[in-house]
Amino acid sequence: MATCTFLGLGVMGGPMARHLAQKGHDVTVWNRTGEKADAWLAKVGAGRTAASPAEAITGAEFIFMCLADDPDVDAVFAAFAPALKAGQVIADHTTGSAGLARKLAQGAKAKGAEFVDAPVSGGQMGAENGQLTVMCGGDPATFARVEPVMRAFSKQITLIGDVGAGQLAKSVNQICIAGVVQGVAEGLHFARKNGLDEAKVIEAISAGAAQSWQMQNRWKTMVDGKFDFGFAVDWMRKDLRIALDAARAAGASTPLTALVDQFYADVQAEGHGRWDTSSLISRLNK
Protein backbone atom coordinates (compact mmCIF):
# COMPACT_ATOMS: atom_id res chain seq x y z
CA MET A 1 0.00 0.00 0.00
CA ALA A 2 1.13 3.56 -0.74
CA THR A 3 1.47 6.71 1.34
CA CYS A 4 -0.68 9.32 -0.39
CA THR A 5 -1.69 12.95 -0.11
CA PHE A 6 -4.91 14.24 -1.67
CA LEU A 7 -5.31 18.00 -2.15
CA GLY A 8 -8.85 19.16 -2.92
CA LEU A 9 -11.98 17.43 -1.59
CA GLY A 10 -14.71 18.67 -3.89
CA VAL A 11 -17.40 16.55 -5.55
CA MET A 12 -14.67 14.68 -7.45
CA GLY A 13 -11.69 14.79 -5.11
CA GLY A 14 -13.56 13.78 -1.98
CA PRO A 15 -14.77 10.43 -3.35
CA MET A 16 -11.43 9.77 -5.06
CA ALA A 17 -9.58 10.25 -1.79
CA ARG A 18 -12.15 8.04 -0.05
CA HIS A 19 -11.51 5.20 -2.47
CA LEU A 20 -7.76 5.46 -1.83
CA ALA A 21 -8.34 5.17 1.92
CA GLN A 22 -10.85 2.35 1.57
CA LYS A 23 -8.43 0.38 -0.60
CA GLY A 24 -5.93 0.46 2.25
CA HIS A 25 -3.67 3.33 1.23
CA ASP A 26 -2.36 5.69 3.91
CA VAL A 27 -4.07 8.99 3.02
CA THR A 28 -3.53 12.54 4.25
CA VAL A 29 -6.01 15.12 2.94
CA TRP A 30 -6.07 18.89 2.68
CA ASN A 31 -8.80 21.25 1.53
CA ARG A 32 -8.85 25.02 1.35
CA THR A 33 -11.92 24.93 3.59
CA GLY A 34 -10.79 23.00 6.64
CA GLU A 35 -14.32 22.09 7.66
CA LYS A 36 -14.69 20.04 4.49
CA ALA A 37 -11.53 18.09 5.32
CA ASP A 38 -12.85 17.43 8.82
CA ALA A 39 -16.17 16.25 7.40
CA TRP A 40 -14.34 13.94 4.97
CA LEU A 41 -12.36 12.41 7.83
CA ALA A 42 -15.48 11.89 9.94
CA LYS A 43 -17.27 10.21 7.03
CA VAL A 44 -14.40 8.00 5.87
CA GLY A 45 -13.09 7.11 9.30
CA ALA A 46 -9.54 6.66 8.02
CA GLY A 47 -6.59 8.84 7.13
CA ARG A 48 -5.73 12.23 8.55
CA THR A 49 -6.04 15.92 7.73
CA ALA A 50 -3.30 18.54 7.36
CA ALA A 51 -3.34 22.28 7.95
CA SER A 52 -1.47 23.19 4.75
CA PRO A 53 -0.44 21.65 1.42
CA ALA A 54 3.20 21.62 2.52
CA GLU A 55 2.34 19.75 5.71
CA ALA A 56 0.09 17.36 3.78
CA ILE A 57 2.78 16.17 1.37
CA THR A 58 5.40 15.47 4.04
CA GLY A 59 6.41 11.83 3.76
CA ALA A 60 4.03 11.08 0.87
CA GLU A 61 5.06 8.86 -2.02
CA PHE A 62 2.20 10.13 -4.19
CA ILE A 63 0.59 13.58 -4.23
CA PHE A 64 -2.82 13.83 -5.90
CA MET A 65 -4.55 17.10 -6.75
CA CYS A 66 -8.13 17.68 -7.90
CA LEU A 67 -8.87 21.40 -7.88
CA ALA A 68 -11.00 23.90 -9.77
CA ASP A 69 -8.88 25.65 -12.42
CA ASP A 70 -5.35 26.58 -13.45
CA PRO A 71 -4.92 29.43 -10.92
CA ASP A 72 -5.92 27.11 -8.05
CA VAL A 73 -3.49 24.40 -9.16
CA ASP A 74 -0.69 26.93 -9.62
CA ALA A 75 -1.27 28.40 -6.15
CA VAL A 76 -1.45 25.04 -4.37
CA PHE A 77 1.65 23.77 -6.17
CA ALA A 78 3.52 26.93 -5.12
CA ALA A 79 2.40 26.32 -1.54
CA PHE A 80 3.88 22.83 -1.33
CA ALA A 81 6.79 23.08 -3.80
CA PRO A 82 9.35 24.10 -1.12
CA ALA A 83 8.55 20.85 0.74
CA LEU A 84 8.87 18.58 -2.31
CA LYS A 85 11.42 15.79 -2.03
CA ALA A 86 13.20 13.76 -4.67
CA GLY A 87 11.22 10.72 -5.78
CA GLN A 88 7.78 12.03 -4.92
CA VAL A 89 5.19 11.71 -7.71
CA ILE A 90 2.54 14.38 -8.35
CA ALA A 91 -0.61 13.42 -10.26
CA ASP A 92 -2.87 16.35 -11.13
CA HIS A 93 -6.46 15.25 -11.77
CA THR A 94 -7.71 18.82 -12.32
CA THR A 95 -8.96 19.63 -15.80
CA GLY A 96 -6.57 22.40 -16.79
CA SER A 97 -4.26 23.57 -19.52
CA ALA A 98 -1.42 21.60 -21.07
CA GLY A 99 0.77 24.68 -20.65
CA LEU A 100 0.39 24.69 -16.89
CA ALA A 101 1.02 20.94 -16.75
CA ARG A 102 4.34 21.42 -18.53
CA LYS A 103 5.26 24.28 -16.19
CA LEU A 104 4.51 22.21 -13.08
CA ALA A 105 6.45 19.26 -14.48
CA GLN A 106 9.50 21.49 -14.78
CA GLY A 107 8.98 22.75 -11.23
CA ALA A 108 8.73 19.19 -9.94
CA LYS A 109 11.81 18.11 -11.88
CA ALA A 110 13.84 20.92 -10.31
CA LYS A 111 13.16 19.31 -6.93
CA GLY A 112 13.86 15.78 -8.14
CA ALA A 113 10.14 14.95 -8.10
CA GLU A 114 7.98 13.61 -10.94
CA PHE A 115 4.74 14.83 -12.48
CA VAL A 116 1.83 13.34 -14.41
CA ASP A 117 -1.15 15.31 -15.69
CA ALA A 118 -4.13 13.00 -15.21
CA PRO A 119 -7.52 14.67 -15.80
CA VAL A 120 -10.53 12.43 -15.30
CA SER A 121 -13.88 11.80 -16.96
CA GLY A 122 -16.96 10.14 -15.54
CA GLY A 123 -18.44 12.92 -13.45
CA GLN A 124 -19.52 12.81 -9.83
CA MET A 125 -21.17 9.41 -10.30
CA GLY A 126 -17.96 7.96 -11.68
CA ALA A 127 -15.99 9.39 -8.77
CA GLU A 128 -18.47 8.07 -6.20
CA ASN A 129 -18.40 4.60 -7.75
CA GLY A 130 -14.64 4.50 -8.36
CA GLN A 131 -15.25 4.17 -12.10
CA LEU A 132 -13.39 7.15 -13.54
CA THR A 133 -11.52 7.27 -16.84
CA VAL A 134 -8.06 8.85 -16.51
CA MET A 135 -6.11 10.42 -19.38
CA CYS A 136 -2.43 10.79 -18.55
CA GLY A 137 0.57 12.68 -19.83
CA GLY A 138 4.03 11.96 -18.49
CA ASP A 139 7.10 9.78 -18.48
CA PRO A 140 6.26 6.06 -18.93
CA ALA A 141 8.31 5.08 -15.87
CA THR A 142 6.50 7.65 -13.72
CA PHE A 143 3.15 6.50 -15.08
CA ALA A 144 4.04 2.90 -14.23
CA ARG A 145 4.63 3.92 -10.62
CA VAL A 146 1.40 5.84 -10.09
CA GLU A 147 -1.00 3.85 -12.30
CA PRO A 148 -1.58 1.00 -9.79
CA VAL A 149 -2.49 3.53 -7.09
CA MET A 150 -4.93 5.37 -9.36
CA ARG A 151 -6.70 2.05 -9.90
CA ALA A 152 -8.39 2.67 -6.55
CA PHE A 153 -10.82 5.12 -8.18
CA SER A 154 -10.60 4.30 -11.90
CA LYS A 155 -11.84 1.79 -14.45
CA GLN A 156 -9.66 2.96 -17.35
CA ILE A 157 -6.24 4.63 -17.21
CA THR A 158 -4.36 5.47 -20.40
CA LEU A 159 -0.98 7.09 -20.95
CA ILE A 160 -1.58 9.34 -23.96
CA GLY A 161 1.90 10.82 -24.36
CA ASP A 162 4.28 13.31 -22.78
CA VAL A 163 3.30 15.80 -20.06
CA GLY A 164 0.36 17.88 -21.31
CA ALA A 165 -1.07 15.11 -23.47
CA GLY A 166 -3.53 14.11 -20.76
CA GLN A 167 -4.98 17.62 -20.61
CA LEU A 168 -5.25 17.82 -24.39
CA ALA A 169 -7.02 14.43 -24.44
CA LYS A 170 -9.48 15.74 -21.83
CA SER A 171 -10.22 18.64 -24.18
CA VAL A 172 -11.00 16.09 -26.90
CA ASN A 173 -13.37 14.42 -24.42
CA GLN A 174 -15.20 17.68 -23.68
CA ILE A 175 -15.37 18.66 -27.35
CA CYS A 176 -17.04 15.33 -28.13
CA ILE A 177 -19.46 15.56 -25.20
CA ALA A 178 -20.55 19.09 -26.16
CA GLY A 179 -21.56 17.99 -29.64
CA VAL A 180 -23.31 14.83 -28.43
CA VAL A 181 -25.35 16.62 -25.75
CA GLN A 182 -26.49 19.27 -28.22
CA GLY A 183 -27.46 16.54 -30.68
CA VAL A 184 -29.52 14.66 -28.08
CA ALA A 185 -31.15 17.93 -26.99
CA GLU A 186 -32.14 18.82 -30.55
CA GLY A 187 -33.40 15.29 -31.24
CA LEU A 188 -35.63 15.24 -28.16
CA HIS A 189 -36.85 18.77 -28.90
CA PHE A 190 -37.67 17.70 -32.48
CA ALA A 191 -39.56 14.65 -31.20
CA ARG A 192 -41.65 16.76 -28.83
CA LYS A 193 -42.48 19.36 -31.47
CA ASN A 194 -43.67 16.58 -33.76
CA GLY A 195 -45.85 14.96 -31.10
CA LEU A 196 -43.78 11.79 -30.80
CA ASP A 197 -43.55 9.65 -27.67
CA GLU A 198 -39.96 10.36 -26.58
CA ALA A 199 -39.64 7.08 -24.68
CA LYS A 200 -40.58 5.06 -27.76
CA VAL A 201 -38.25 7.09 -29.95
CA ILE A 202 -35.35 6.47 -27.57
CA GLU A 203 -36.21 2.77 -27.39
CA ALA A 204 -36.07 2.63 -31.17
CA ILE A 205 -32.88 4.59 -31.79
CA SER A 206 -30.74 3.89 -28.71
CA ALA A 207 -29.86 0.40 -29.96
CA GLY A 208 -28.61 1.79 -33.28
CA ALA A 209 -25.95 4.16 -34.52
CA ALA A 210 -27.38 7.12 -32.58
CA GLN A 211 -26.82 5.54 -29.17
CA SER A 212 -24.54 7.27 -26.64
CA TRP A 213 -23.98 7.43 -22.91
CA GLN A 214 -25.67 10.85 -22.84
CA MET A 215 -28.74 9.50 -24.62
CA GLN A 216 -29.08 6.42 -22.44
CA ASN A 217 -28.44 8.15 -19.12
CA ARG A 218 -29.89 11.64 -19.61
CA TRP A 219 -32.81 11.49 -22.04
CA LYS A 220 -35.46 10.95 -19.33
CA THR A 221 -34.28 13.77 -17.09
CA MET A 222 -33.93 16.03 -20.13
CA VAL A 223 -37.54 15.33 -21.10
CA ASP A 224 -38.65 15.92 -17.50
CA GLY A 225 -36.70 19.18 -17.25
CA LYS A 226 -34.57 17.94 -14.35
CA PHE A 227 -30.99 19.13 -14.49
CA ASP A 228 -29.48 18.48 -11.08
CA PHE A 229 -27.43 15.48 -12.18
CA GLY A 230 -23.76 15.35 -13.03
CA PHE A 231 -21.37 17.97 -14.34
CA ALA A 232 -22.36 21.65 -13.95
CA VAL A 233 -22.60 24.09 -16.84
CA ASP A 234 -20.17 26.45 -15.07
CA TRP A 235 -17.49 23.75 -15.08
CA MET A 236 -18.24 22.72 -18.66
CA ARG A 237 -17.72 26.31 -19.83
CA LYS A 238 -14.39 26.38 -18.00
CA ASP A 239 -13.36 23.18 -19.77
CA LEU A 240 -14.54 24.43 -23.15
CA ARG A 241 -12.61 27.67 -22.63
CA ILE A 242 -9.47 25.60 -22.13
CA ALA A 243 -10.27 23.46 -25.18
CA LEU A 244 -10.98 26.46 -27.41
CA ASP A 245 -7.78 28.19 -26.27
CA ALA A 246 -5.81 25.05 -27.11
CA ALA A 247 -7.58 24.80 -30.48
CA ARG A 248 -6.64 28.36 -31.39
CA ALA A 249 -3.04 27.79 -30.34
CA ALA A 250 -2.81 24.66 -32.51
CA GLY A 251 -4.71 26.09 -35.48
CA ALA A 252 -7.48 23.50 -35.05
CA SER A 253 -10.97 24.29 -36.34
CA THR A 254 -13.70 23.67 -33.75
CA PRO A 255 -16.76 25.64 -34.92
CA LEU A 256 -19.35 23.33 -33.33
CA THR A 257 -17.61 23.49 -29.96
CA ALA A 258 -17.53 27.29 -30.10
CA LEU A 259 -21.25 27.35 -30.93
CA VAL A 260 -22.24 24.96 -28.14
CA ASP A 261 -20.10 26.97 -25.72
CA GLN A 262 -22.29 29.97 -26.51
CA PHE A 263 -25.41 27.86 -25.98
CA TYR A 264 -24.09 27.04 -22.51
CA ALA A 265 -23.51 30.78 -22.00
CA ASP A 266 -27.24 31.24 -22.68
CA VAL A 267 -28.04 28.75 -19.91
CA GLN A 268 -25.71 30.64 -17.56
CA ALA A 269 -27.36 33.93 -18.48
CA GLU A 270 -30.69 32.48 -17.32
CA GLY A 271 -29.10 31.90 -13.90
CA HIS A 272 -28.63 28.16 -14.28
CA GLY A 273 -24.88 27.71 -14.20
CA ARG A 274 -25.23 24.94 -11.61
CA TRP A 275 -27.55 22.88 -13.78
CA ASP A 276 -25.88 19.88 -15.40
CA THR A 277 -24.70 19.86 -19.00
CA SER A 278 -27.86 18.16 -20.30
CA SER A 279 -29.68 21.46 -19.66
CA LEU A 280 -28.93 22.53 -23.25
CA ILE A 281 -32.43 21.32 -24.05
CA SER A 282 -33.91 24.03 -21.79
CA ARG A 283 -33.00 26.82 -24.20
CA LEU A 284 -34.71 24.93 -27.06
CA ASN A 285 -37.91 24.31 -25.11
CA LYS A 286 -38.34 27.88 -23.86
Alpha-carbon distance 190 to 254, whole Å? 25
- 3-161 to CATH, choices 3.30.300.30, 3.40.50.720, 1.10.620.20, 3.40.50.1970: 3.40.50.720
Q: What is the pTM of this model?
A: 0.96
- Summarised one tens digit per residue, pLDDT across range 29-85 is 999 999 999 999 999 999 999 999 999 999 999 999 999 999 999 999 999 999 999
Answer yes or no: is pLDDT of 132 > 90: yes
Which own/partner pairs from 212-221 qualify as long-range (CB within 8 Å, at least 24 positions apart)? 212/180, 212/184, 214/177, 214/180, 214/181, 214/184, 214/278, 215/180, 215/184, 218/181, 218/184, 218/276, 218/278, 219/184, 219/188, 221/278
User: Residue 231 has what DSSP assignment?
Assistant: S
Alpha-carbon distance 31 to 53, whole Å? 8
Answer yes or no: is pLDDT of 230 > 80: no
Domain ranges of the chain: 3-161, 168-285
Q: Which residues are catalytic?
A: 170
What's the topology of domain 168-285? Answer: N-(1-d-carboxylethyl)-l-norvaline Dehydrogenase; domain 2 (1.10.1040)
DSSP three-state, residue 207: coil
- Summarised one tens digit per residue, pLDDT across range 109-121 is 999 999 999 999 9
